[in-house]
Chain A
Amino acid sequence: MVGENGAGKSTLMNVLSGLYRPDAGEVWIDGTQVHFRGPGDAIRRGIGMVHQHFMLVPPLTVAENVVLGREPTRRGLLDLEAAVDQVGETCRRFGFKLDPRARVEDLSVGSQQKVEIVKALHRGAQVLILDEPTAVLTPQEADELVAVTRSLAADGHTVVFISHKLREVLSVAERIVVLRRGRKAAEVRASETTAEALAELMVGESNAAKVASQGARAPAGPVALRGEAIDDGVAVHGVSFTVRAGEIVGIAGVDGNGQRELAEILTGLRPASGSLRLMDTEVLGASPGELRARGLGHVPEDRLLRAIVGPMSVEENLALGRHGRPPFARGPFIDFSGRRAHAASLLESWDVRPRDPSQRIAALSGGNQQKAVLARELDADPKVLVVVQPTRGLDIAAVRSVHERLRAHRDRGAAILLVSLDLDEVLALSDRLYVIFGGRLSVELAREDFDERRIGRMMLGAT
């Protein structure tokens, strides 16, 4: 099943798994109509759902998580030994390598996902629903998952595989259902369609997405941001890199390998040793305010936490960081009309909807919030921009627009450091890239060396 963010995929699946109750309509399993009053009912009818955000209890062990809700007991007490045996048996039967005694919080994301699948199979699931299962995986892990999915299907299981990565759906599915704005837009056989056709069905326009890689461009300018042996002793170890004016440098990596901390160091939010030169001035340890004054822009990873103040208006958010200067202020006072006019023109040129500067920014969709953040940061015309996960949670149209804006800003001569967990995004945007693993950067890779397989291996620590 494919569809953009907000097309209703997860909601529909939550109805199938008994978490939500439908207002109307029917659910049928094997020729019988069913009414689920809760997830327990769905599980009893053999429906197992693997949620996009894992439904695992981190401090509990794999075995405890799997048996939760139908625990084996001996004389009224929890029989943990039996649980370990049973879960081990299920793992063997379906070919998963998991230690039932390991604590879930100590596992990698890929292994946690396997725990989720084992959890469903252990409950005798015949219908397996995988909600955006590859969103958090490396290419290798994703391939492995696709193979597991195929073998489960061959084994007689029904699998609903949800994704917005078309390539993946085409390789894993027999039939593809396209959802658009809560409605079924089409149902096609995988063998009879193409990625382009699917994209068109998803977006509903003929100018469907093809996040194109850029051709040759003018050579990059002088080094605008240079890090030397940056180290915080915790998550980032001896990181050195350069970003030149007029280029986008990507940092690819699996979540939790220090990219978040590195971005925090570069933007003055986290102390570290080493050297960081912004336009040839040493700035390591400078406050975020000083860095901004020197021409550094920052699009943080967590929009709600760091980029916007949800309950405040769009225009107030657009003024953040420069609120003490014209056109946002006159002397010590807020310049309300100047701020309003500036906000209105930004909303117009960035196509932020609705065009209402007095709207609470929290009421905007994720894509429009992100556009507003980018509008604010790029409006200050930073010489160096640090962007983290700029398109997380955005739909195809919004992703495209964000990517175009970033490229345009680069072409105006800015240096951009892009940190993203989405490898496709890093590959599509970057002129050069580094892979981060365990807080260390790989050698830099030029555009002509971008090889998804090899980068995937590097993301897992292999060289």
Chain B
Amino acid sequence: MLELLEALVWSTLEFAPALIFAALGAVLSERSGTVNVGVEGMMRVGAFAAAAFALVMPTPLAVLLGMAAGALFAAIHAVLCISWRSDQVISGMALNLVALAGITFLLESMFGPSTSPSIAQLGRSGFGPLAQVPLLRALSGHTALTWLAAVLALAFHLVLGRTPVGLRIRAVGEKPSAAATVGVDVIRLRYLCVIGSGALAGLGGAALSTATLDRFEHNMPAGLGFMAVAAMVFGRWSPLGAFGAAAFFAFGRAVQIGLESSFPSVSDVVPKGVLLALPYFLTLVVLTLQGKKSRAPAALGTPWEPEAR
């Protein structure tokens, strides 16, 4: 029993960072008023870039470049949504499709059809003697990203709630005209948030290819980006809420994998597809239960037009 719990906690901590980074990214973009359903594509770009760069440089550096790639990719979204005021959902979905096709092309032309070569994973730190203690063992042996995810969520919470720039981000997402009249540069702030969102999503993708696995696989991130968006909604657009929701979804994933590996006989009764769908189904249930209680930023999805009347 204890062993099972340990295994669940351990794999939750393995899966969670990617989802948490991506969910925080979604929150950052949407709190400033720009819908971001392109998280999936931004993660894919980050995952691939990190894996590819890790072949020629130290992995931590490659992770940073993965973030940069995600940010660069998100800049397209920013231009489309903020400067050209196109439909934000369409733009996000277009980005997802571009990432799907573009990265598949790069993968096949550089490495072949299914995966990149394996790379050096990010370092894992044990807890020394603590790693022998039951239960605590589950916390040991993860990459720095696992802890960074928690730290970033806290830091983001602090920035959004307790700093001038956080107040401005909230104001811009709720009522950009009000922010503009007191001299806040709405366009610039929204650009920064969308690009930052891409960096976080890129980090989430990089976590998949450099920490969860040791290579880029052709179907990455396999819907995690959409789960991140769901986690954002479930977490009511707050950093800590999204963090909690993402951790919960990661736990659901751990349960699914745990079921598969600990009780192989389950797959005789329950088709594998059903198990695979479990976390997504959980997402649907949670969102349904939550219903209309969620509170989105008031100006979400509305482009800011300085001279509109």
Contact = CB atoms under 8 A, between A and B. Distances in A.
Interface of A: 10-11, 17, 19-20, 38-41, 43, 49, 51, 53-60, 64-65, 68-71, 73, 76-78, 119, 123
* B: interface residue count bin: 20 to 34
B137 interface: no
Given A40-B183, A56-B175, 9 more contacts: A17-B181, A43-B182, A51-B181, A58-B174, A68-B167, A68-B179, A70-B182, A78-B164, A78-B167
B171 interface: yes
Contacts of B167: 60, 64, 68, 71, 78
Q: Which of A10, A57, A71 has the most CB of B within 10 A?
A: A57
27 contacts: A10-B309, A11-B309, A17-B181, A20-B306, A38-B183, A39-B181, A39-B183, A43-B182, A43-B183, A51-B181, A53-B177, A54-B178, A57-B170, A57-B175, A59-B174, A64-B167, A65-B178, A68-B178, A68-B179, A68-B182, A69-B183, A71-B164, A76-B163, A77-B158, A77-B162, A78-B166, A78-B167
Contact of B182 (A41, A54, A59, A69): A69
A60 B309 CA distance: 24
A69 B183 CA distance: 6
Interface in B155-189: 158, 162-164, 166-168, 170-171, 174-175, 177-185
B3 interface: no
A11 B308 CA distance: 11
Contact of A55 (B162, B175, B298): B175
Nearest to A77: B162
Contacts of A71: 164, 167
Interface SS, B side: helix
Interface string B183-205: 11100000000000000000000
B307 interface: yes
B162 to A, nearest CB: 5
Contact of A68 (B168, B307, B309): B168
Q: Nearest 5 CB-CB pairs, A to B?
A: A40-B183, A69-B182, A71-B164, A55-B178, A55-B181
B181 to A, nearest CB: 4
A69 B179 contact: yes
A68 B166 contact: no
Contacts of B184: 68-69
A31 B155 CA distance: 48
A69 B180 CA distance: 9
A293 B190 CA distance: 51
Given A20-B307, A69-B183, A77 B163 contact: yes
Nearest to B178: A55
